[in-house]
Amino acid sequence: MAVGFDAGSSGTESKGQGGRAVVNDVVVHRGRDEGFRGVAAVGDARSAWDNRPMTSLTFELLASDGAARRGRLHFPRGTVETPAFMPVGTYGSVKAMTPRDLVEVGAEIILGNTFHLHLRPGLEIVKKFGGLHRFIGWGRPILTDSGGFQVFSLAHRRKLTEEGVTFASPVDGSRVFLSPEVSMRIQTVLDSDIAMIFDECTPYEIDGVPIDEQRAAESMALSLRWAERSRRAFDELGNPNNLFGIVQGGVHEALRRRSAEGLVGIGFDGYAVGGLAVGEPEEVRNRTLDFTVPMLPADKPRYLMGVGRPEDIVEAVRRGIDMFDCVMPTRNARNGFLFVPEGTLRIRNAKYAADTRVIEEGCDCYACANGFSRAYLRHLDRCNEILASQLATMHNLRHYQRLMAGLRAAIEAGTLEDFTAAFYARRRGAAVA
């Protein structure tokens, strides 16, 4: 019965074609291969990003267990096993992690933010490198958010019209304008493997009061019009990558259906569920997923945006979601919160001052595998040492990747309900903070 976390690959090397080897699933080029100009060092996360073949992604469904799906996304830059968790690198960097660290924790795809990368370093800089991959030294797939979430998160400093959104820059206060066309131009320069349409992330509530259906309908309709403009601009730019639509509509089934049907009519390479993890109760979120996910095409990947507690991921996988992103594992790590199967361990608490145990027995992350104690991590954190954030982030991201591997194995074995029961049983055992 597969109910535990999968420890992941053993990191062995296998021979490849044309002077290549595969180390920890990274293609290492030992010579000049046809169609490539880059040469990567062993173990490095860089791979050949120049002159790659341009094709849309393919989604391969390998197994299912109830509504849950075990699949595989194939990109020219690499393969992503699903369900997948994407670490967030807002500015082109997952905080406290090198690209090599990301490979070692098991990340196969990361997320960048269109809005923030547009502000800094700016498109002219990224363009000199031929795109974001080469600029940041990451040769695997990247998904970029369109900037639509900033329509939500910077609502206090924006002006929204049919044409687009004008923001006060959080960097210097200058005016910044984003529209579907501008967002698609930025994402084309970034050359992300998955671009997202520009949308308005519908809020759950305003000033503590849930928005009414009329307000949610207006927001959804605007996002649908922007989806058409995004699709048109993406195609006119000749972007050879992939564009995902985003289903909006708040917590209202009829609105979600109108949004999903409209997006499918336009046609996208994958479909995201947006407008959740914006303050709604957990039961409302799960109910919204219950009626929204079945509306999405079965032959396309499904992405739940911004939802990231381990419990939320398990529940969404059970409902048929394939892809996730969230800042939670990295942000929590920098604030001294470490994920373990029983819940969350707060390393700043005094009870860990002389604790000789590693963060999590059986974890194969760098921190645990090398015997770094809870006492040492607490010491580093109290001294504001950079290593505290590095070790904690490595652990949290590896914890998430092991969770995803466990979910994939359980779906393959047809034991997802057993996995889920064991997952919750461990969390009910005892508080660990």
Active site residues: 145, 325
- Is 199 assigned a ligand-binding role in the annotation? yes
Q: Crossing angle of helices 416-429/386-413, nearest 10°?
A: 140
- Is 112 assigned a ligand-binding role in the annotation? no
Burial class (CB in 10 A: 0-12, 13-18, 19+), 346: middle
d(CA 356, CA 183): 50
Q: Are 318 and 326 in contact (CB under 8 A)?
A: no
Closest CA to 274 of 163, 199, 187: 199
List, in order, residues 6 or more apart from 179 with CB less than 8 Å away.
163, 164, 165, 198, 226, 229
Q: Crossing angle of helices 416-429/310-318, nearest 10°?
A: 160
Q: Is 158 helix (H, G, I), strand (E, B) or coil?
A: strand
Residue length of the chain? 433
- Is 66 assigned a ligand-binding role in the annotation? no
- Is 149 assigned a ligand-binding role in the annotation? yes
Q: Are strands 68-75 and 58-65 parallel, antiparallel or unpaired?
A: antiparallel
d(CA 322, CA 83): 4
CA angle 271, 165, 229 (to 5 degrees): 45
d(CA 347, CA 349): 5
- Is 146 assigned a ligand-binding role in the annotation? yes
- Is 383 assigned a ligand-binding role in the annotation? no
- Is 364 assigned a ligand-binding role in the annotation? no
- Is 248 assigned a ligand-binding role in the annotation? yes
Residue numbers in the known binding site for substrate are 145-149, 199, 248, 275
Residue numbers in the known binding site for Zn(2+) are 363, 365, 368, 395
Residue numbers in the known binding site are 145-149, 199, 248, 275, 363, 365, 368, 395
